[in-house]
Amino acid sequence: MGLLRNLMGRSRPVQANLDSLFAVPSAAITLQTSIGLVPTGDGAVCYRAPAGSGFAQAQADVVELLENDADGPEVRVSEDGFGYTWLEVDHEPYDAVAGDLGGLCTDLHAVNTTLEAAGFGPSLLCSLIPFADASGRTLGLVYLYKQGTFYPFAPAAGDDRRRDNLLEIQVRDALAGELPVEQDLSRWLALWGAPGV
C-alpha cells in the first residue's frame, strides 16, 4: 500500500501530536523573557461543529468534564462570524510566580482528545493560547490540529485587519527550538475575532 501511495503521489497526512501542547509552558517562559509576552490564562479550541445529537453530546461531555473540577475554569461555547465553534477555557490571569499554564494546556488537551475519541477528530481545526504584553500587543499561539504544528498570529494595533508580521517572525524565531513551528507560511491563517486576540 505504501508503494502505491508513493506512485500515486499521495502522502500520509501528518498525525496530530497533542502532547506538544505540554511544551507550551516552557515556550511561554521563552516568550516572556525574550519578547515580553505573557499568557493571559485563557485558551480555546476551534472546530467545525457537525450537526447531530452525537456531537452535541460529546461537546456537552467536554464542558461537564471541565466544569466538574472544584478549581475548574470558566467554560464558554461560542460561534464566530465564519461558522466555527470556539470552546473557550478561561483560567485566572497568568501570574509568573504562581501561574499554572500547565493546567490550561491540560484542559485544551482534554477537549481535543475527548472530541477525537468520540470520532470527531476531523472536525478539529486548532487550539489557541493568547498572549499579551504591557503595551497592549496581543498574540495567539495557534496549534494546528491536522498539521501537528504551531504558528503565531499577531493582529496589528487597531481593528483594520492587519497583522503584525514582525512580531510573528520574532515569535517564530524565538520558539524554533521549543515547539514544532509550521514552516509553510500559507498555513499561518488569520484568526480574526478569535477569543483573546
Distance CA 59, CA 46 (A): 12
Specify if 5 maps to a domain.
Answer: no
Specify if 68 maps to a domain.
Answer: yes
Specify if 11 maps to a domain.
Answer: no
Distance CA 120, CA 116 (A): 5
Element (H, E) at 179: none
Specify if 158 maps to a domain.
Answer: yes
Chain CA centroid to CA 1, Å: 34
Amino acid letter, 109: H
The predicted pLDDT at position 161 comes to: 86
The structure's pTM equals: 0.88
Number of domains in the chain: 1
Residues 106-158 pLDDT 10s: 999 999 999 999 999 999 999 999 999 999 899 999 999 999 999 999 999 87
Range of the domain at 68: 16-186
Specify if 72 maps to a domain.
Answer: yes
Dihedral sign for Cα 159, 161, 165, 171, please.
positive
Residue with more model confidence, 17 or 170: 170
Residues of the chain above pLDDT 70, percent: 88
